[in-house]
Amino acid sequence: MLGGTTEASELAQVLAEAQIDAIFSYAGRTFSPLPQPLLTRVGGFGGVAGLQAWLQANSITHVVDATHPFAAQMSANAVHACVAASLPLLAFEREAWQAQSGDKWQHVANIEAAVAALPAEPSRVFLAIGKQNLLPFARCPQHAYLLRLVDAPHDLPLSHAQVVIARGPFTVSGDKTLLQAHGTTHVVAKNAGGSGAQAKLCAARALGLKVILIDRPIIPTRNTTSKVAQVIAWLASHGAGTGNTERGE
C-alpha cells in the first residue's frame, strides 16, 4: 500500500486485523510519520522503473494507492508500474469536497493560479497547502501568511509568515479560533477531500472568509474507491490471501 493519509492509516489497521499480508510505504517527506501496524518502508522508488523493480523483487501481488490526492507523480508512477508488472491496482481516494450554502469558494487549476487569485492589497492568508509549494507565494510579499505544518520548517521562502505545528484531524471550533486569532481574510487550500482536513473550510464558511480552492491534478485512468470495505472486497475478488502479517512498532 502506498500510504501517507489518514485514510491509509485506517485501512492499514483493517488489513492488519484481517491478517492480510501487506507493506505500508511512506514517501518520507514527514520527519516523524505515524507508526503503522504493518511492515513499513520509507522513501522513494526511483520513478516508474524503480517502482516496478521493487514490486517484482518483493513479490507484490496487489497494489493499493492510498496516497494524497495531490501526489500526482506517485499515483501516475503506480499506474504505469502496475501495467508494466501486470499487477492489479486500486486507488483508495477521498471524495472531493463540494461547496455548500454560504461558501465563498474560487476554484483554481494549480498553485500558480492560486497565487494569481490573491488580492493585490495586503491580506492575511492561511496557506493550508503543506510545505512543498510555498515558494510561488513569495512573489506576493505584501501578505501575512499563516502556515500549519506537521514538522517545523528549516527554511521558509516567505518573509512574513507564522507557523503552527500541528497534526490533524482538526475541529471546526479549533480552526475558527485559529483563523480569528490570526485575523485571517483568505484561505488557500487543495481540494484534498476527506474529513480530517475539512474543518478549515467549515470554519471559513462560518466566518464568511474567501477560499481559494485548488482543483485536483489529472491522474491516468485507474479503478478508484473511497470505501475501506470496497478495498477489502477488491482484494478478496483478486485473490489476496491472509497470513501472519508482520507488525510495525
pLDDT of residue 194: 84
Total domains present in the chain: 2
Given a cut of 50, whether residue 44 has pLDDT beyond it is yes
Given a cut of 90, whether residue 247 has pLDDT beyond it is no
Q: What is the DSSP letter of 192?
A: -
Are 131 and 203 members of one domain?
Answer: yes
Q: Where does 58-208 have alpha helices with state H?
A: 72-85, 111-117, 172-181, 199-207
Are 117 and 201 members of one domain?
Answer: yes
Q: Is residue 89 part of a domain?
A: yes
Band the pLDDT of 143: cuts 50, 70, 90: very high
CATH label of the domain that carries residue 43: 3.40.50
Q: Is residue 245 part of a domain?
A: no
Least confident of 7-16, 49-58, 172-181, 240-249: 240-249
CATH label of the domain that carries residue 174: 3.40.50.720
pLDDT digits (tens, 9 = 90+) for 191-225: 999 887 899 999 999 999 999 999 999 999 999 99
Identify which of 165, 162, 207, 156 has the alpha carbon closest to the alpha carbon of residue 182: 162
Percent of residues, the chain, with pLDDT higher than 70: 96
Q: How far, in Å, CA of 102 to CA of 112, rounded?
A: 26
pLDDT of residue 240: 76
pLDDT of residue 211: 98
Are 32 and 53 members of one domain?
Answer: yes
Band the pLDDT of 148: cuts 50, 70, 90: very high
Q: Is residue 167 part of a domain?
A: yes
Range of the domain at 160: 104-214
Q: Is residue 243 part of a domain?
A: no
Are 174 and 150 members of one domain?
Answer: yes
Q: Where does the chain have alpha helices with state H?
A: 6-17, 47-57, 72-85, 111-117, 172-181, 199-207, 228-237
Report pTM. 0.83
Band the pLDDT of 111: cuts 50, 70, 90: very high
Return the beta strands (E) in 112-151 as ranges: 124-128, 144-149
pLDDT digits (tens, 9 = 90+) for 87-110: 999 999 999 999 999 999 999 999
Q: What is the DSSP letter of 137?
A: G
Cell numbers 481559494 correspond to what residue?
A: 212
Band the pLDDT of 248: cuts 50, 70, 90: very low
Are 205 and 229 members of one domain?
Answer: no
Are 133 and 79 members of one domain?
Answer: no
Is residue 7 helix, strand or coil? helix
